Structure 1
Amino acid sequence: MRYLTQRTTQRAADRAEEQRRAAALAEERRAEQIRTVLEFIRFALEAEGVAHARPSLWEVGDEWYRTARPAMDGLRIAENGVQLLCPAGLHSSTTAYARALNQAVWQEGDGTSLAERLEPFKAEFLAVARRSLSLTSQVTATRATLRCARGRWLVAVGLRVLNKPFRRFPELLP
């Protein structure tokens, strides 16, 4: 009987440890995705600043070009990082925003302001990024600390809490 009890206890402990590791790995991936999106945003803002500073006449090797080239290279690298590490839904809006920035930096404008040309792509990218990262955070929210009616704290491992009421045991709600 002791053997069965010990074996069951060990299995439960192993499952709990595996769930903890999976949750930690998911949280690390989410943090990496956030860092990648922030890096893309940083390079996008730098490229936008370069586009605003673009002279009407420029040549390869002048001061503006020496500023623009590293900014655009960084933007391309950050775009590839987003495509590599982030959910697939974010790829198309990232690429569209990067292409719009590339055109704004290297090509003469068509008479509209730079903000008018870039704002739709920027807004779409930011909206998709917010949705993508919020979905990731909901999926990784597999641990929740709940307070029961008697004042004790319980840790529910593997319980999904996605801003939905916990109907089965309402006394566990904080």
Structure 2
Amino acid sequence: MFHNIPNKFIHFRKKYIYSISSLNMKLRSTLLLIALVISGVGIAIYIGVFVFPYLNTGQEGPNINYIAPYTNSTHTCYTHAQGCTAKLPNQFINYTVWNNDGTINITNSAITGGNGFFKLNLEINYNWTIRMQTTINSIVYIGTTNFSTISGSANCITTGQLKP
């Protein structure tokens, strides 16, 4: 194929072809690296915004509170943990929640879990009052307690004593 071409031109052509393929390889590597960086940043943003939006608060979310009504005794709790148990498991509770402006936010009912808690999802940066009512052995028990969803507040509320 290169019979009539002097050696110096053949050498130049081989070197030129090698340079082009080397350049292509470097360009492909650079583009791949840029794509990986952009993808990594995109994934990090997605995780930070959508998957763990409350990661820096130390709570499951500043607006999720675990309420544990009780009749006789309770325990002190600040941050709700999975092993946390209260005194009224599987109990039907009627409740009304209002904020510090007196605006009623929720009137509802819940059944406490096997651990004695029920969960409330409330707006952040408010002070709240909850009035709870339940019936035990045909006796109606009622109680009220205050709590907050301001940053740094407890999310485990064990101060709601119900009295006949």
TM-score (norm 1): 0.27
Select the structure that is richer in helix: 1
Higher RCO, Cα 8 Å, sep 6+: 2
Select the structure that is richer in strand: 2
